[in-house]
Amino acid sequence: QFSPTNGDFTFVSSTDAEELSGTIDAPDITLNMGPASARDPYATTFLKQRGYGWLLEVEDDDSEDTKPLLEELDIDLKDIYYKIRCVLMPMPSLGFNRQVVRDNPDFWGPLAVVLLFSMISIYGQFRVVSWIITIWIFGSLTIFLLARVLGGEVSYGQVLGVIGYSLLPLIVIAPLLLVIGGFEVVSTLIKLFGVFWAAYSAASLLVGDEFKTKKPLLIYPIFLLYIYFLSLYTGV
């Protein structure tokens, strides 16, 4: 005989057809999804036995600190500024560690220099911008291939960075050419000075001791490349 202690229930006997009625109140079952120490051990065991233990896992919501945009893009303004000074002042007596331009190449600094040179060269012709960037990329590729053939231990990224940064002397002489453009002799001398300045900055970084007697074979195309860059600016 079953005697419930609380609640209503209903039993129907199949033999004497007596009907028993009543109610049974079952206690509420609560599944605690909080910390592991506060979970119901019975519910935890039940879920784990049936392969649903992953429902009890709680991920930490430790949000990472938002990085600055420059850091996300790997842009170091101090490093770029130092490299600009190394290119504009290539004399060893000034004490700059110029090898950092070659040994620690970056992309954004040279790209900014090339874009700046393009902006002062357009004179309303925006197609010049893409053309200068193309010459920078493929001209650097040519110098890289030639350097590798001659036995130089340089990477394409290093050549790309050095050639890009070394456009700065041409940017420096650009305002002078605007001022004294009417004086052909002086203008020509300034152009030659700018090209030699740019070529020396690039060659002194790219042409190492490993080239030995083959240095002119690499210096000459670097010189021609900057002459071509200058012709894109002056139109001559």
Per-residue pLDDT reduced to its tens digit, 62-76: 445 566 766 766 778
Q: What percent of the chain has pLDDT over 90?
A: 6
For residue range 81-98, what is the model confidence (pLDDT) as tens digits?
A: 888 888 888 777 777 777
At 36 the pLDDT is: 47
Query: What whole-number distance in Å separates Cα of residue 99 and Cα of residue 119?
Result: 28
What are the residues facing 12 on neighbouring strands?
Answer: 19
Strands 11-12 and 19-20 come out as antiparallel
pLDDT at 44 over 50: yes
Rg of the chain in Å (alpha carbons)? 38
Distance of alpha carbon 173 from the chain centroid: 31
Q: Is the pLDDT of residue 38 over 70?
A: no
Give the highest mean pLDDT range of 94-103, 109-118, 181-190: 109-118
Mean pLDDT, to the nearest integer, of 21-33? 51
Q: Give the model's pLDDT for residue 141.
A: 92
- pLDDT for position 80: 85
Q: Mean of the per-residue pLDDT values for the chain?
A: 74
Query: In this predicted structure, what is the pLDDT of residue 55?
Result: 61
For position 12, what pLDDT does the model report? Answer: 53
Q: How many CB atoms lie within 10 A of CB 88?
A: 16
Q: Where are the alpha helices (DSSP H) in 21-92?
A: 41-49, 69-72, 77-88
The listed range with the strongest mean pLDDT (52-61, 115-124, 140-149) is 140-149
Max mean pLDDT among 97-106, 117-126, 207-216 falls in: 97-106
Instruction: Give the list of residues 6+ apart from residue 73 with CB closer than 8 angstroms, or none.
Output: 108
Determine the Cα–Cα distance for residues 102 and 206; give it in Å rounded to an integer: 7
Rounded Cα distance between 41 and 167, Å, is 71
